[in-house]
Amino acid sequence: MKRIAFGLLLLTATAAAAAPPPLATGLKTPESVVQVGGRTFVSCIGEFNTEGDGEVVEIQDGKAVQFATGLDDPKGMVAFNKMLFVTDKTRIWRIDPKGKATVHVAAAAFPTPPIFLNDIAVDTRNGMMYVSDSGKDGQGGALYAIPPKGGKPRLIVDGKMIPGLTTPNGVCLDGEYFLLLGDWGTGDLYRVKIADGSHEKLADGFGGTDGIAWDYHGKLFISDWKNGKVFGIPKPGEKPQLLAEGFQAAADICLTTDGKSILVPDMKAGTLTAIPTTMPGWEVDESPLAIHTEVAFPKLKWTGWSSTDDAGRATPLRPIVLTHAGDGSNRVFVATEQGVIHAFPNDQNATETKVFLDIQDRVVYTDKQNEEGFLGLAFHPKFKENGEFFVFYTTKAAKLTNVVSRFRVSKDDPNKADPASEEEILRFTKPFWNHDGGTIAFGPDGYLYVTHGDGGDANDPLKNAQNMNVLLGKILRIDVNAKADGKNYAVPKDNPFVGKDGVKPEIWASGFRNVWRFAFDRKGGQLWAADVGQNLWEEINVVEKGGNYGWSKRESWHPFSVLGVRENKEMIEPVWEYHHDVGKSITGGTVYRGPKLPELDGHYLYGDYVSNRLWALKYDAEKKRTVANRPIRDPGQPMLSFGEDERGEVYFLSVSATGKGIHWLVK
């Protein structure tokens, strides 16, 4: 994000909306607000420097109901593990669900006696807390890290380490390794590395920077206490916008649990107000679609599959790929993660599959390591003529190894493949069992695109995704119609890194953690890829030739790890992200181009494996932003994968104990 002089921005900005009517009035100097478990709590200072008149109240039907009393000047507040944590001048309180307050961190625990503890943030993954001390008269300000169980705070930065820092106030996590810090005295906004206190100024001109909050899709909100305003930044690198004004003293803000509003306490007016998270020029249609999911092919029986094994243990069906041969037969092909490809007619009354290929004897799969197995299937564009198709699977022939192989249809039976025809094309050796990726697909150019994850474990420990001399953490592009350099494929001459020293020429794009499904838009040809996040954010990318998508220096729009970097010209940002409060493991789909549901045309379908939610996203290439992210009635089960039939209808796949693991969209 560039530094921005807001005085210049506001001269040309559209006038902001006045603050809407408040949700609650009559609050006694409200400072901070949190929502948790459907409840809204506000810290109220009362009279400054009057001991014992501070409190935390719960807002019920627009009225303040006392929850915890006997505090002094309570300021910042967060919720964690069913507790509230509140800063109060020189100490931090822990408040239990019944409103009983206990000192969590006493003044004596700080390395330097605190002067005026202000805002507080919590990493809900590990319980680490971060607290600002605003000091006094522009002196003595600091930022501390608090261990999960209290204990001795650690100094991260102070005014000596950040020249010009006068009154540290608002604190907000930016990923797990960085904090955003607002200076109430100067109106500056900083990003601070938690590990060593290194920092950069992101923006200035916020007046009295107070509250800082993200929404679930990467929009940042900042309150200006001095001028009674709330600003929003739609994504990194974009200019801030004035969203609301007319407050007397806009204090510490928070996102509502539904993600639709920012709650703003007005310290001087004694009110609590909700303003929408919508930003002018960045509106996103999030209205639900009048579409739902149904089981497709409900009569289908899977040849050779049983819901239990010989010992009576459940063996649910794991359909992992659905595709077609593009040969005009309108057949549907579904591969299971164990290594069986089934084929059947594209008829909702179909009753039985035929086994097209069974290579279970070669495929590694266990439920405990379910990112391995048979993961990819792609038919050659000229399959009707040459009978070739390609698969990606974890092989039993070598440890921690994935292969891409060519197979051919049987000469004697066009409805069966020849297991003996396997020709290995490409081999990946990986350090860990997870993050295998595994999508393979032919692009509009006739070349085969292949992805493999970063090699697994967590944090990309070997830094494979940014290492251009390895194939892990990349999307590759190869020519399977030719052979060169002793390999069973050739590298297209127009690949972006051909001829560059220290770079694998197969690489088409880099900087991926674990792409779980990419697909080409059959109309526009764009390559869409969903990359599974680690700590906080899931992302959707439109992949460009030679693009670097940031991992593991960035997680979506945010710096990642101690080596994390800000947005930059060398890395391409996702077109959409969502927070782990929405879902924790994205499953990428494809752009809908089917005939059945024209209202979905041009929308990218995707879901989340953990939260079981499903959306249709619309990206406007001219505006360079997402304009719709419309929910589809939740299917209520994890989405393993998506697929298209020959006509362009889209299906999603799920684990099924009954064999009914294929679903499609209907009105």
SS3 annotation, 215-254:
CCCCCEEEEECCCCEEEEECCCCCCCEEEEECCCCECCCE
Q: State the pLDDT at residue 11.
A: 27
- Is there a single domain that holds both residue 233 and residue 299? no
**């500056």: which residue's tokens?**
188
Has residue 5 got a pLDDT over 60? no
Query: What is the chain's mean pLDDT, rounded?
Result: 95
Of 217, 247, 276, which marks where a domain is finished?
276
pTM for the model: 0.96
- Is there a single domain that holds both residue 348 and residue 454? yes
Domain contains 171: yes
- Is there a single domain that holds both residue 337 and residue 244? no
- What is the rounded distance in angstroms from the CA atom of residue 441 to the CA atom of residue 378? 5
Domain contains 486: yes
Domain contains 287: no
Domain contains 302: yes
- Is there a single domain that holds both residue 464 and residue 537? yes
Structure tokens at 559: 């710096």
- Is there a single domain that holds both residue 508 and residue 567? yes
Has residue 162 got a pLDDT over 60? yes
- Is there a single domain that holds both residue 24 and residue 99? yes
- Is there a single domain that holds both residue 251 and residue 348? no
- Is there a single domain that holds both residue 431 and residue 555? yes
Report helix, strand or coil for 100.
coil
Residue 75 belongs to a domain with what CATH number?
Answer: 2.120.10.30
pLDDT tens digits, 129-151: 999 999 999 999 999 999 999 98
- What is the rounded distance in angstroms from the CA atom of residue 387 to the CA atom of residue 186? 69
| Residue 576 bridge partners (DSSP) | 540
Domain contains 560: yes
- What is the rounded distance in angstroms from the CA atom of residue 57 to the CA atom of residue 49? 19
Cite the beta strand spans of 52-90 per DSSP E.
54-60, 63-71, 74-80, 83-88
Domain contains 85: yes
- Is there a single domain that holds both residue 331 and residue 185? no
Structure tokens at 82: 């069913």
- What is the rounded distance in angstroms from the CA atom of residue 650 to the CA atom of residue 594? 7
Is the backbone peptide bond immediately before 552 cis, with ω within 30 degrees of 0?
yes
Q: State the pLDDT at residue 15.
A: 61
Domain contains 284: no
Has residue 205 got a pLDDT over 60? yes
- Is there a single domain that holds both residue 34 and residue 111? yes
Q: State the pLDDT at residue 17.
A: 74
Structure tokens at 186: 């100067």
Domain contains 459: yes
**By residue range, what is the domain housing residue 647?**
292-666
- Is there a single domain that holds both residue 602 and residue 510? yes
DSSP string, 585-644: SEEEEEE---SS-GGGTTPEEEEETTT--EEEEEEETTTTEEEEEEEE---SS---EEEE
The number of domains in the chain is 2
| Residue 201 bridge partners (DSSP) | 190
Q: CA angle, 167 as apex, 266 and 212 as ends, to 5°? A: 50
Has residue 4 got a pLDDT over 60? no
Kindly provide the b/e burial profile for residues 504-526, where b requires at least 16 CB atoms within 10 angstroms of the residue's own CB. Answer: bbbbbbbbbbbbbbbbbbeeeeb
Confidence band of 173 (pLDDT split at 50, 70, 90):
very high
Confidence band of 249 (pLDDT split at 50, 70, 90):
very high
Report the amino acid identity of residue 508.
W
- Is there a single domain that holds both residue 201 and residue 239? yes
pLDDT tens digits, 361-415: 999 999 999 999 999 999 999 999 999 999 999 999 999 999 999 999 999 998 9
